[in-house]
Amino acid sequence: MPSARFEIGKRHKSSPEKVSSRASWNTPRKDNRPGISYATRMAFSFAATSVMTVLIMVGVVSVVWGGVFSDYTRANMEDIASVTAQRLAASYDQSGPWTAEYLSSVADTTLSSDIGIQVSDATGEIIYDDTWPAVPAKRGHSLTSTAPTDAGGSVTKSIVTADGETVGTVRVWVLGSDVLLSKADSAFRDRTFNAMALAALIAVCISIVIGFLVSHMLTSPLRRITSTAKQVRDGDLSARTNMRGDDEIDRLGETFDEMATSLERDLKHERRITSDVAHELRTPLMGMLATVEAMQDGVMPADDEHLETVAAETRRLARLVQQMLDLSRMEAKSAPLNIEEVDMVSFVRQIVSGQHQLFHDHDLRLRFNDETQGRDAVVECDPDMITQAIINIMSNAMRYTPEGGWVVVSVKTGKRDVLISVSDTGIGIAKEDLPRIFSRFWRADASRAREAGGLGVGLSLTQQIIERHHGYIAVDSELEKGTTFTIHLPREHTPETPSTTMEN
pTM of the model: 0.47
pLDDT reading at 86 higher than 70: yes
**Percent of the chain that is helix, strand, coil (3-state, to 5):** 50, 15, 30
For 423, the enclosing helix (H) or strand (E) is: strand 417-424
Task: Please give the angle made by the CA atoms of 390, 392 and 394, to the nearest 5 degrees.
Answer: 70
What is residue 9's predicted lDDT score, i.e. its pLDDT? 47
Task: Please give the angle made by the CA atoms of 65, 67 and 68, to the nearest 5 degrees.
Answer: 65
Give dist(CA 189, CA 166) in Å, integer. Answer: 37
What is residue 141's predicted lDDT score, i.e. its pLDDT? 44
Q: Which CATH architecture has domain 238-323?
A: Orthogonal Bundle (1.10)
Cβ pair 3, 478 in contact under 8 A: yes
Average pLDDT over residues 340-361: 94
> Predicted confidence band at 19 (pLDDT cuts at 50, 70, 90)?
very low
What is the domain partition of the chain in residue ranges? 35-236, 238-323, 336-503
- Range with the poorest average pLDDT among 28-32, 105-109, 395-399, 429-433: 28-32
Dump pLDDT digits (tens) for 39-82. Answer: 788 778 878 888 888 888 888 887 887 777 777 777 888 888 88
Dump pLDDT digits (tens) for 118-172. Answer: 888 888 888 888 776 544 434 444 445 556 666 667 788 888 888 888 888 888 8
Taking phi first (over 0 means left), then psi (-120 to 50 degrees means alpha), and beta for anything else, what does residue 441 get?
Answer: left
What is residue 179's predicted lDDT score, i.e. its pLDDT? 57
What is residue 135's predicted lDDT score, i.e. its pLDDT? 46
- Range with the poorest average pLDDT among 184-193, 292-301, 466-475: 184-193
187 or 169: which leads in pLDDT: 169
Contacts of 291 (CB under 8 A, 6+ apart): 300, 306, 309, 310
Give dist(CA 133, CA 312) in Å, integer. Answer: 138
Contacts of 270 (CB under 8 A, 6+ apart): 17, 19
Give dist(CA 134, CA 140) in Å, integer. Answer: 9
Contacts of 363 (CB under 8 A, 6+ apart): 403, 404
What is residue 289's predicted lDDT score, i.e. its pLDDT? 85
Average pLDDT over residues 399-427: 93
Dump pLDDT digits (tens) for 221-244. Answer: 888 888 899 988 888 888 888 888
What percent of the chain has pLDDT above 70? 77
What b-and-e string marks burial along 390-425, b requiring 16 or more CB atoms within 10 Å of the CB? bbbbbbbbbbbbeeebbbbbbbbbeeebbbbbbbbb
Average pLDDT over residues 388-402: 91
> Predicted confidence band at 456 (pLDDT cuts at 50, 70, 90)?
low
Distances from the Cα of 500 to the Cαs of 179, 388, 433, 497, in angstroms? 86, 21, 15, 10
Cβ pair 448, 400 in contact under 8 A: yes
pLDDT reading at 473 higher than 80: yes
Helices (H), 111-175: 136-139
Q: Is the dihedral of CA 46, 50, 56, 60 positive or negative?
A: positive
Give dist(CA 405, CA 458) in Å, integer. Answer: 22
Phi/psi of residue 482, nearest 5 degrees: 130, 175
Query: Within its chain, how far is the Cα of 43 from the centroid?
Result: 23
**Strand pairing class (154-160; 166-174):** antiparallel
Instruction: Spell out the CATH class of 336-503.
Output: alpha beta
